[in-house]
Structure formats: C-alpha cells, structure tokens
C-alpha cells in the first residue's frame, strides 16, 4: 500500500488526533470543541487562510499552491451520534450518550493529515479548500454550508469526500459514477377515527383497521406502481394505535422511510402515498393526513471526476483494490448537496474487519487514516500539477 512517505512519517501523530476526537464527540451543529481542535492543528500546519463559523461550527481552510490554478474542495464530516459506546477502548467517549460510531473522527483526521502534508510541500498549482463540516448525521450541515456560499466564496471547482467502511477489505476503494447513495424521505400518516368500547365496534370509526389497510396498500407502491429497473424502497417502520385490549382508539399513526435515486420516482412515491392516505380514509369514513419530511437528496457522482478519483485511488491502492462500478447503496449522505452544487465524487474506503457503522462497539481503524490522507493529497497534486 504506497502511502505517501511523508504522511506515513506522522501516522502516530494522526492516531493521537483521532483518538482525542473519539473521546470528545459532539453532535449536529454543536461541534465547538472539535472545530477548535481542527483550527489549532491548521494553525500549526501554517495553512494560508482559516474561516470559522460556517454552518455554525464548520471550518474552511485554504492552502495555496505554487502558481495560478483552480480550487479543489475536500470535505470531512465532524459530528458524532447520540448513542452510548461499548467499544471498551481506553480512549472511548467521555460523554454519556454520544459516540463517534460512524468514523467521522477518522474522516476529520484524514483531512487533517492531508492538510499537514499539502501545507508543507505545496506541490500543486491553484488552491485547495479543506471543508470540515458539522451535522452530517442530523441537520444537513452540507446543505447549510452550500447555502452559506462556500462554493462561490472560495471559488471551488470540484469536490471530493471519503467514507470509511468496516467489512470492506482494508485499503480498498469503492465508488461508481452516477447515483451512489439514495435520497431519504420520512413519511408519517396521522389517522383520526372515533374511539369507543371494543365490544361495540359499530359505534366507532376504527383507525386500526384503516391503518392496516393503508400499510397493505403502501406495500404495492414499489411492486405495482414502480418500474423495478430503478431501485426504490418504501418501508413502514412504525404503527401505533391503542393502549388497552377492550378500547378502540381515536387515533392511529403510521411512519416509515423512502429511499430513491431518481427524482421522478421520488415524486411518484410521494403522490401515491397521498392518494393512499386520502382514498383509504374516505373508504373507512375517517380522516387522515400525510406528512412528508424531505431529507437528503441522492448522492450522485460526476462521471469524469469519478473516473479521475478512481485512477488516483489506483495509484494509492493498486489496480486490484479499486472497484469503480460498485452497486448503489440505500444509505443517505448530505455530501449530496455539495455534489449538486459542484462536480465531484464520493468514495468508500475499506477499513477491514470490525464492528459496523452505527454499532456501539465501532471504532475507526487508525491504520486506514494515512491511506485516506494520501488519497486526498495525491488527488490534489494530480488534479492541479505544478506547471
């Protein structure tokens, strides 16, 4: 694995950064200590510009190369998850109810490693914009950074990001042009009936029966209304109604998730959910309202930039360790907003065996950090070579 030699020299330092971040997780937009740690390291490296307070706690740093050229953007997410850690490592979370269970501590470390190398060597033209983003897990920090103008303000030409994947062979890179991760929406249907004694259903308007009918109808959206050549998922994940065996309740609630890659498919599913909600309510003589929470859009990689990123990955990992035609994932990612604003690519980096993402026993594999940092550094030097 040809990690950049200079980055390999400070692999132990990177491990220290990562474990500090792991022990001090922060949530959503409240990444104050994390941002302060990042800024302190960037000042140590001697980057040219540091811009704080973007999307509340986000940071953008600029490193100038040698000579004129475009600006390439590199992004790392910084936030943790609201869950307790069970990994048992000595640097485990010191904050109850919070842990880095998705490896964002490692993503931040990889971008810091690349920053240190690029600020030291500057073997590229143009500029690199290092974007440390809060609130990926919840809150859409990527969207907020875009809305606050980071792409235009820093004249970003292309954007790239990595995500670690436990279970994927160590050091392998996987990506694909086009959609790589799904759009995610949440639906909730609130049903209003008329409750009463369970022994006298004729005196009630039963929301339980209506809820069951709605769930059955929802199951036909993908199987009967959707062209199965385009991937989509509609899953009902919650049904709530009633609290005692002999009472028909007034209210029912259905909740679930929608995953799509195509905006037309997404719109069709939204339309059918509305039709099913209203039609079933009318058929059962009660009222029902559909609430749609539109989440992150699909993460769609640009074709040219993905081919380029895969070539860079081959320089780092070798031809046999790069899959540039992997299948689409039903998970969601707010880097999608940055890819809507600029061409670029999102890649997965194999972390080897270990507990999965969002698992309370998860711990980022420190050995993968120099590989990710080398990828970022090599990408900048290759995209914007010295003239």
Residues 6+ positions from 288 with CB-CB distance below 8 Å: 189, 190, 191, 192, 210, 214, 277, 278, 280, 281
Q: Is 358 annotated as a binding residue?
A: yes
What are the angstrom distances between the C-alpha of 65 and each of 62, 140, 309?
10, 31, 20
Length, in residues, of the chain? 387
Backbone φ and ψ of 321, nearest 5°: -110, 20
How far is the CA of 6 from the CAs of 2, 3, 117, 384, in angstroms?
A: 11, 9, 7, 19
Binding residue per annotation — 22?
no
Residues 202, 220: Cα–Cα separation, whole Å: 29
102 is in an annotated binding site: yes
Q: Alpha carbon of 357 to those of 163, 167, 321, 362, 363: distances in Å?
A: 11, 10, 21, 6, 9
Beta strands in 276-318 (DSSP E): 287-294, 299-301
Secondary structure class of 257 (helix, strand, coil): strand
Compute the 3-state secondary structure of the chain and give helix, strand, coil in percent, each to the nearest 5: 40, 25, 35
85 labelled as ligand-binding?
Answer: no
Q: Are strands 178-181 and 49-54 parallel, antiparallel or unpaired?
A: unpaired
- 240 assigned to a ligand binding site: no
What is the chain's Cα-based Rg? 24
Contacts of residue 363, Cβ cutoff 8 Å, sequence gap at least 6:
22, 87, 89, 354, 355
Instruction: Name the binding residues for Mn(2+).
Output: 102, 104, 137, 163, 358
Instruction: Name the binding residues.
Output: 102, 104, 137, 163, 358
């Amino acid at each position: 694995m040809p990690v950049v030699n200079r980055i390999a020299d400070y692999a132990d330092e990177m491990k220290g950064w990562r474990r500090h971040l792991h022990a001090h997780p922060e949530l959503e937009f409240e990444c104050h200590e994390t941002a302060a740690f990042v800024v302190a390291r960037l000042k140590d490296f001697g980057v040219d510009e540091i811009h704080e307070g973007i999307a509340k706690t986000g940071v953008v740093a600029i490193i100038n190369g040698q000579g004129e050229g475009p600006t390439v953007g590199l992004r790392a997410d910084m936030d943790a998850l609201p869950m307790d850690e069970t990994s048992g490592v000595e640097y485990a979370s010191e904050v109850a109810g919070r842990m880095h269970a998705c490896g964002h501590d490692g993503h931040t470390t990889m971008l810091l490693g690349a920053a240190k190398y690029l600020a030291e060597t500057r073997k590229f033209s143009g500029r690199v914009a290092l974007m440390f983003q809060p609130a990926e897990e919840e809150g859409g920090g990527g969207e907020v950074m875009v809305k606050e103008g980071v792409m235009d303000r820093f004249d970003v030409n292309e954007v790239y990001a990595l995500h670690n994947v436990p279970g994927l062979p160590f050091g392998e890179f996987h990506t694909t042009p086009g959609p790589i991760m799904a759009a995610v929406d949440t639906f909730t249907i609130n049903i209003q009936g008329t409750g009463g004694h369970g022994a006298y259903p004729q005196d009630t308007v039963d929301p339980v029966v209506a809820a069951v009918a709605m769930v059955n109808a929802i199951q036909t959206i993908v199987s009967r209304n959707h062209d199965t050549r385009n991937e989509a998922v509609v899953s009902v994940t919650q049904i709530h109604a009633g609290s005692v065996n002999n009472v028909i309740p007034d209210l029912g609630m259905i909740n679930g998730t929608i995953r799509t890659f195509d905006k037309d498919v997404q719109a069709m599913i939204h339309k059918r959910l509305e039709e099913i909600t209203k039609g079933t309510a009318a058929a059962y003589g009660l009222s029902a309202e559909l609430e749609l929470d539109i989440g992150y859009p699909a993460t769609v990689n640009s074709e040219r930039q993905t081919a380029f990123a895969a070539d860079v990955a081959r320089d780092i990992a070798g031809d046999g360790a790069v899959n540039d035609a992997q299948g689409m994932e039903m998970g969601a990612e707010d880097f999608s907003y940055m890819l809507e604003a600029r061409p670029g690519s999102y890649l997965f980096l194999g972390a080897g065996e270990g507990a999965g993402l969002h698992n309370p026993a998860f711990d980022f594999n420190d050995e993968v950090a120099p590989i990710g940092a080398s990828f970022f550094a090599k990408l900048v030097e290759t995209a914007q070579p010295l003239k």
